[in-house]
Structure 1
């Protein structure tokens, strides 16, 4: 049976990790880029687990054989199709145990020897946690700005230009505020956040810089590593300034227009505002925001939230950062991106001269 270490997997061209765990396990966390070809459904896994606990290991293994046997041809066909497209499938499960060994054995008997990841996902996670601190020994260009100033769009445009961007909100699958999961899938947990952060850093490892947003330590369900927090505080800071009108336009486009016809929209909005309300002490402001929500005047709702809640909190957090700031107007994203790209190129040249 062919076996492969995590380090070998990461160096392999056109590698496609094949996760043979159940769908619910795969959804919780996986190796980025993996495909799920499960040996058992969620219900079958639960049944086998119950047999193992309540009857015996032998009974569980026999039932597993009964379930898997009819599936083998189709399962191998799916994995073979990955290979036929010029990719390199690598089989893994939770810890490199029975499931991945079984699938690798079936493949070998079928004349399709394919490697199995030693230690499975657990070995992968251990590897990335060991590597992340050294991968974060870089310099950071950090974007600051009030909510709606266009930081996320700027990062996206810079990434499209091939610049070393870490989009923490994208990695966390959360926009970093009380309304951060609005209209999105469930936020990533810590395991997925760490895996996607590693993948991003691995992609941009040749650059001495990273470009990132000044996010809070916790984003959704995930917490940034201490090394990243330090990198951010010691970075080169860029403040994006933007008119209130443009900020309201952007937030309306991002949070309101795509979802306003959804049945859950108003309910979700009201639930999210309850969390804000607990932190607001200004009763008059609360009454005005509630009235805007009742009237479905979403632009006024957004502006009042910015003025009474988000902007004061942001101004307080900005005091955590020392050192000089660049100031860029972000009413027009294209111009802001161009100016930030120029700053990046100048800082990159300085770094080359020092080295």
Structure 2
């Protein structure tokens, strides 16, 4: 079947109808890729380096010949893998610039009956879009509050209520503290995080308020895009307040179920800030399953950190909201009222 070249605009529609195949090396794919894409490499990591070096030293003709020498013996394997994985024989293909590797893969699969849609400009075109998308002007509404006030739970409830919400910690696979990675998958690269964020933002109306949780510039190893973070700092900010008892209970429900050894390692990572005595007390409480005690101990540190962080936000754009002892429905009602006060209807 014939190959069809598609633009990025075409891609957004077609991606809903068929698999996306990334023809780059496994290392490039691991670094970042189009979400939901599947890697089917033409050249592996070492082969890519070898061909690239030859291209620089002797030119494109030598590089092409070397590429075919390396990958040629695997042509039938690539075809078999594609036939097994994509029996409908209809796929989108891309490589770095939409050039040789995706072209070769397209040619190989056309010979066994595939209908191919190849992305013009390849991953580079997609990445240029996502880079710009996460740096565009937005109307953010930042939900803050000390550790344990249930910000993530409130964001999920807002989303279920039809509000525009971006879950930064969910995308980063990290809860934003020393305990943040426990029980979660590995974090994406910074570039892949931007891809995930851009994919979400393109589905939202940038002219309407978008709820995000207050974060520092880094969520674990992920760094927020510069312009996005700058807008968070200068956007309207809702400071959620709850009683200490509610906060400890919420943290206990979320963290007490996690492996004891990992909780202890997380406390040890904070030793320089907690001091030796408080660190040992917290570890002893974890060992004894005295969860309210170690949580209360650590809140002394996290509360000071939050107070310092709060100073970054403009006081004139900060609204303090006490949601202590309210039902989830009443908390949502107050949050929506605050949104209307800060942004209007």
TM-score, normalised by the number of residues in structure 2: 0.84
Whether the 8 Å CA contact 1:147–1:310 is kept in 2: the answer is yes
1:326, distance to aligned residue in structure 2 (A):
3.9
C-alpha distance in structure 1 between counterparts of 2:76 and 2:266, whole Å: 49
Summarize the Cα distance change of 1:273–1:145 in structure 2 as closer, same or farther, 3 Å threshold. same
Matched, 1:71 2:65: no
**Which residue does the alignment assign to 2:34?**
31
1:312 CA displacement: 1.2
- Cα-to-partner distance string for 1:196-217 (whole Å, 9 max, x where unaligned): 1111110113542111111101
Q: Is the 8 A contact 1:150 1:330 kept in 2?
A: no
1:291 to 259, 276, 284: 284
> 1:151 Cα shift?
0.3
- Residue in structure 2 matched with residue 175 of structure 1 by the alignment: 175
Query: For structure 1, which segment, 320-329 or 56-65, has the greater mean C-alpha deviation from structure 2 after superposition?
Result: 56-65
How many Å apart are 1:153 and its aligned residue?
0.9
The alpha carbon displacement at 1:159 in A equals: 1.4
Question: For residue 317 of structure 1, what is the aligned residue in structure 2?
Answer: 309
User: For the residues of structure 1 that align with 2:280 and 2:70, how far apart are their CA atoms?
Assistant: 61
Q: Against the structure 1 CA distance between its residues 70 and 227, is the aligned structure 2 distance closer, same or farther, given a 3 Å change threshold?
A: closer
Alpha-carbon RMSD: 2.8
Q: How far has the Cα of 1:318 moved from its partner?
A: 1.0
Count of matched residue pairs: 331
| Aligned counterparts of 2:283 and 2:237: Cα–Cα separation in 1 | 36
Structure 1 counterpart of 2:94: 92
Does the C-alpha gap of structure 1 residues 110 and 68 become closer, same or farther in structure 2, counting only changes over 3 Å? Answer: closer
Contact 1:37–1:78 under 8 Å retained in 2: no
Alpha-carbon offset, residue 175 of structure 1: 0.9
On the 8 A contact 1:20/1:100 being kept in 2, the answer is yes
**26 and 142 in structure 1: CA distance in 2 versus 1, 3 angstrom threshold:** same
Equivalents in 1 of 2:229, 2:52: separation in Å? 44
Q: CA–CA distance in 2 between the matches of 1:114 and 1:21?
A: 16
Q: Which residue of 2 aligns with 1:113?
A: 115
Residues 264-279 of structure 1: matches in 2 within 5 Å?
265-266=260-261, 268-279=262-273
- State the shift of 1:284 in Å: 4.0
**Matched-pair contact (CA < 8 Å) for 1:100–1:116:** yes
Gaps of 5+ in 1: 84-88
| Secondary structure at the counterpart of residue 312 of structure 2 | coil
Over residues 221-274 of structure 1, what are the superposed CA-to-partner deviations in whole Å (9 max), with x where a residue is unaligned? 2222232223222322212112222222222222231x33xxxx41x2232222
Distance 1:117-1:50 versus aligned 2 partners, 3 A rule: closer
Instruction: Tell me if the contact between 1:183 and 1:255 (Cα under 8 Å) persists in the aligned partners.
Output: no
User: Matches of 1:28 and 1:333 in 2, distance apart?
Assistant: 39
Among 279, 288, 293, the residue aligned to 1:300: 293
User: What residue in structure 2 maps to residue 86 of structure 1?
Assistant: none
Tell me the CA shift for residue 299 of structure 1: 3.1
2:321 is matched with 327
Matches within 5 A, 1:186-265: 186-205=186-205, 207-257=207-257, 259-260=258-259, 265=260
Structure 2: unaligned runs, 5 residues or longer: 55-61
Question: 1:94–1:284: structure 2 CA closer, same or farther, 3 Å change rule?
Answer: same
Q: Distance in 2 between matches of 1:82 and 1:338?
A: 50
Distance 1:132 1:11, change over 3 A: farther
Contact 2:6 2:117 in 1 (8 A): yes
Query: Per-residue deviation at 1:24?
Result: 5.1
Normalising by structure 1, what TM-score?
A: 0.82
**1:45 is aligned to 2:29:** no
Q: Give the direction of change, closer, same or farther, for the CA distance of 1:179–1:110 in structure 2 (3 Å limit).
A: same
What SS does the aligned partner of 2:273 have?
Answer: coil
